[in-house]
């Protein structure tokens, strides 16, 4: 559990007043990369012995996985009875991002649960956006959902999330003023601290482009497409949200009554498109960051897209990248036919956005219906690729 040891070292740095960003741990010489607020939260990991801590993290992540399955069902407009919940949780352990999260002692499941719980709450729920802001304060990437809330005219929720995020930064500054200044003015921009962008572990757009071009630092060859992709992904997510609202309004007009009920699945594709956009455009998206595959599978199954769900599940269990030669710098010298097997997750993400673009073309004012219980569904093309991952 290499990442868990990094978290514990961060907690020790806070407790002992040492340099938060000046240490490395494990044989891979891993440094601290999260904001100071996260390090403050890790202090309790120093209170128990490492073996007990590993057992606690393993059990905690297992419970969080069950929570993620339940929240994914809620996103898909379904409920998960206990037998179904237990079976689905056991099956999702085979998904490579989930397995690697447990193996490394990562906090991906906790972050995803915070975000998904908050975003699937009813409109107007008390302090909606608070959990999202806290998640962003720990791992930054969820902040993209604040932009999504703004673009979909949910300004109150976006404001709460922004205030919550700012609060985490202020708490970090209160406890660790020097480390806070160091992180926000320097460490935040040192993406190389997180790891090498070109290794197959990195399943972001930058990793795909770096390996395809054989460049350790693809520079503008990555940053420009990433900027376009970020804008496009958020635009498609916004379109998906508005298409659902228009579809619901049409239904109300046809039935001559107002739909006052809240469906947690109404924003399903907007949330998923935003999440996968974040994974694509982030400079580093280790394979275990892609635990958003769980809610994606839940939505596909709820919309009776069984073949596509099975294909997606196969992709996230295949682990083909680890069958490729990747010792040393061999990741940079893969032949063209091995490139898809080295980048299954970003290819899936790109296919998802392409499918959304087709389904949300201007000629269609509402998302195509699939069944009465699913008011809207987004056509998602299958991605031809494999899967895999770990962290060196």
pLDDT tens column, 269-296: 999 999 999 999 999 999 999 999 999 9
83 pLDDT higher than 70: yes
How far, in Å, CA of 203 to CA of 35, rounded?
22
Poorest-confidence range of 16-25, 29-38, 124-133, 259-268?
259-268
pTM score of the predicted model = 0.88
Is residue 271 within 8 Å of 298, Cβ to Cβ? no
C-alpha triplet 298, 287, 53: angle, nearest 5°: 90
Tokens 């932009």 sit on residue: 147
Average pLDDT over residues 254-268: 58
**% residues pLDDT > 70 (the chain):** 87
Q: What is the pLDDT of residue 248?
A: 63
Beta pairing partners, 202: 286
How far, in Å, CA of 34 to CA of 194, rounded?
10
How far, in Å, CA of 210 to CA of 177, rounded?
36
392 pLDDT higher than 60: no
Poorest-confidence range of 35-49, 262-276, 374-388?
374-388
How far, in Å, CA of 330 to CA of 259, rounded?
57
Q: What is the pLDDT of residue 256?
A: 53
Q: How many CA atoms lie within 13 A of 199 on its CB side?
A: 18
Average pLDDT over residues 11-19: 92
| pLDDT tens by residue, 328-360 | 788 888 899 999 999 999 999 999 999 999 988
Q: What is the pLDDT of residue 126?
A: 92
382 pLDDT higher than 60: no
| pLDDT tens by residue, 206-246 | 999 999 998 888 889 999 999 999 999 999 999 998 887 66
Q: What is the pLDDT of residue 246?
A: 66
Q: What is the pLDDT of residue 371?
A: 44
What contacts 24+ positions apart, CB below 8 Å, involve 183-191?
Answer: 183/20, 183/21, 183/35, 183/36, 184/35, 187/21, 187/33, 191/283, 191/284
Average pLDDT over residues 97-125: 95
70 pLDDT higher than 90: yes
Higher pLDDT, 391 or 125: 125
Q: What is the pLDDT of residue 253?
A: 57
How far, in Å, CA of 111 to CA of 289, rounded?
10
Q: Return mean pLDDT, the chain.
A: 87
């Amino acid at each position: 559990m290499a990442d868990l040891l990094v978290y514990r070292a961060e907690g020790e740095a806070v407790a002992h007043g040492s340099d938060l960003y000046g240490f490395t741990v494990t044989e891979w010489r891993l440094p601290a990369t999260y904001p100071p607020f996260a390090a403050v939260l890790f202090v309790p990991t120093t209170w128990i012995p490492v073996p007990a801590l590993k057992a606690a993290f393993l059990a905690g992540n297992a419970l969080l996985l069950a929570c993620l399955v339940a929240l994914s069902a809620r996103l898909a407009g379904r409920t998960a009875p206990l037998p179904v919940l237990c079976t689905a949780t056991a099956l999702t352990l085979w998904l490579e991002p989930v397995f690697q999260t447990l193996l490394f002692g990562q906090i991906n499941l906790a972050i995803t649960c915070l975000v998904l719980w908050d975003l699937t709450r009813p409109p107007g729920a008390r302090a909606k956006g608070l959990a999202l802001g806290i998640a962003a304060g720990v791992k930054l990437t969820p902040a993209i959902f604040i932009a999504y809330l703004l673009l979909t005219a949910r300004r109150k929720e976006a404001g709460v999330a922004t205030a919550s995020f700012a609060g985490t930064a202020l708490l970090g500054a209160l406890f660790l003023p020097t480390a806070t200044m160091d992180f926000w003015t320097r460490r935040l921009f040192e993406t190389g601290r997180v790891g090498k962008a070109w290794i197959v572990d990195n399943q972001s757009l930058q990793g795909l482009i770096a390996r395809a071009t054989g460049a350790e630092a693809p520079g503008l060859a990555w940053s420009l497409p990433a900027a376009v992709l970020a804008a496009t992904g958020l635009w498609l997510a916004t379109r998906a949200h508005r298409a659902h609202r228009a579809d619901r309004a049409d239904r109300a007009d046809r039935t001559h009554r107002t739909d006052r009920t809240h469906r947690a699945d109404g924003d399903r594709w907007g949330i998923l498109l935003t999440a996968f956009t974040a994974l694509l455009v982030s400079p580093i998206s280790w394979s275990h960051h892609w635990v958003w595959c769980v809610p994606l599978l839940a939505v596909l199954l709820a919309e009776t897209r069984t073949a596509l769900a099975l294909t997606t599940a196969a992709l996230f269990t295949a682990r083909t990248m680890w069958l490729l030669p990747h010792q040393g710098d061999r990741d940079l010298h893969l032949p063209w036919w091995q490139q898809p097997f080295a980048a299954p997750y970003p290819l899936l993400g790109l296919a998802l956005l392409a499918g959304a673009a087709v389904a949300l073309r201007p000629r269609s004012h509402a998302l195509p219906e699939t069944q009465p219980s699913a008011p809207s569904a987004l056509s998602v093309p299958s991605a031809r690729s494999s899967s895999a991952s770990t962290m060196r």
